[in-house]
Amino acid sequence: MTALIFLRMTEDWENTSLENITFYKRMGLVKTIIKMWDSRFHVRYFQYRARIKEIALSQWSLPHVMEIPEDIGDDDWLIPSDDDDWFNYGLSNFLKHQKEEYVYWDSLVNTTSLKFRLHKWFDVHNVIGSNNYAIKGSLIKRANEDQKFTLLHDHPESIKTAQSLDATIGEHKDKVFSCYNQHPGSFSVLRRTFERSGMIKVLPVGKLQELPKSMKWIETEYKDMLKVVGDLKQIKVL
């Protein structure tokens, strides 16, 4: 059994530009919003995202891929993720003992945009999150190309596609094996605030929350994230 993180959404942030980005190609607002970010903050958007990605990749204990391996085994696992998500070091051992083809668990949500907040994914949401599920190779192998894309890229719809393929489902809402980061540079946050006000008001306010004891496995990354967000000093507009 091999467990691999499937990195679904990323850019080579340090070496990209507005002219050659592929990550957000489908989103018409992206250039406007990134230009606005760069005019508002001392840290340019691509520099910020490069640092966030660096924190995530240095935290992962599992190897990652960006394509489905040709030799994926029936009992191997793919764990979809964006380039700003984190995972518990015990996830691989947990998956080794799972018999189902589609397994999901709970995730901590670390919010550092608009306000500081820590909560569990399923305390607020009733759909599968960005990085709190895994798919067995046997399920991937019998999916067609559209189904593979949904399983790996469309997390809210992934479980429905798994069920349509008669996959066995393992629910483990009592376990937390991942952390989803909702940070100032998350494009979902940027797009939402821009569409509401024409601005990108994303810096957090309020009191920091301490990590629960059960989440001490992300203590280093949590502090690193707070440092990166803290470095986003807004340029004063006269």
pLDDT mean over 138-166: 97
**What domain range is 141 assigned to?**
3-230
| 117-144 confidence digits (pLDDT tens) | 999 999 999 999 999 999 999 999 999 9
Q: Does residue 28 lie within any of the structural domains?
A: yes
- If phi > 0 it is left, if psi is from -120 to 50 it is alpha, else beta; for residue 206 that is left
Q: Does residue 63 lie within any of the structural domains?
A: yes
| 29-67 confidence digits (pLDDT tens) | 778 888 889 988 989 999 999 999 999 999 999 999 999
Domains in the chain, number: 1
Alpha carbon distances (Å) from 193 to 118, 137, 143, 189, 211: 20, 38, 37, 6, 27
Burial (CB < 10 A; 0-12, 13-18, 19+), residue 54, is middle
Q: Does residue 110 lie within any of the structural domains?
A: yes
Say what the pLDDT of residue 198 is: 72
| 69-86 confidence digits (pLDDT tens) | 999 999 999 999 999 999
Q: Is the pLDDT confidence value at 237 over 60? A: no
| 165-198 confidence digits (pLDDT tens) | 999 999 999 999 999 999 999 888 888 888 777 7
Q: How does residue 19 score in pLDDT terms, banded at 50, 70 and 90?
A: confident
Q: pTM for this one?
A: 0.92
Say what the pLDDT of residue 238 is: 38
Q: Does residue 238 lie within any of the structural domains?
A: no
pLDDT mean over 107-111: 94
SS (H, E, C) 23-80: CCCCCCCHHHHHHHHHHHECCCHHHHHHHHHHHHHHHCCCCEECCCCCCCCCCCEEEE
Residue with tokens 């924190």: 55
Q: Does residue 45 lie within any of the structural domains?
A: yes
Using CA atoms in the order 133, 139, 140, 142, what is the torsion angle rounded to 10 degrees? -160
Q: Does residue 237 lie within any of the structural domains?
A: no
| 186-236 confidence digits (pLDDT tens) | 888 888 888 777 777 788 878 888 888 888 999 999 999 999 998 987 765
Distance, in Å, from the CA atom of 191 to the CA atom of 235, rounded to the nearest integer, reads: 20
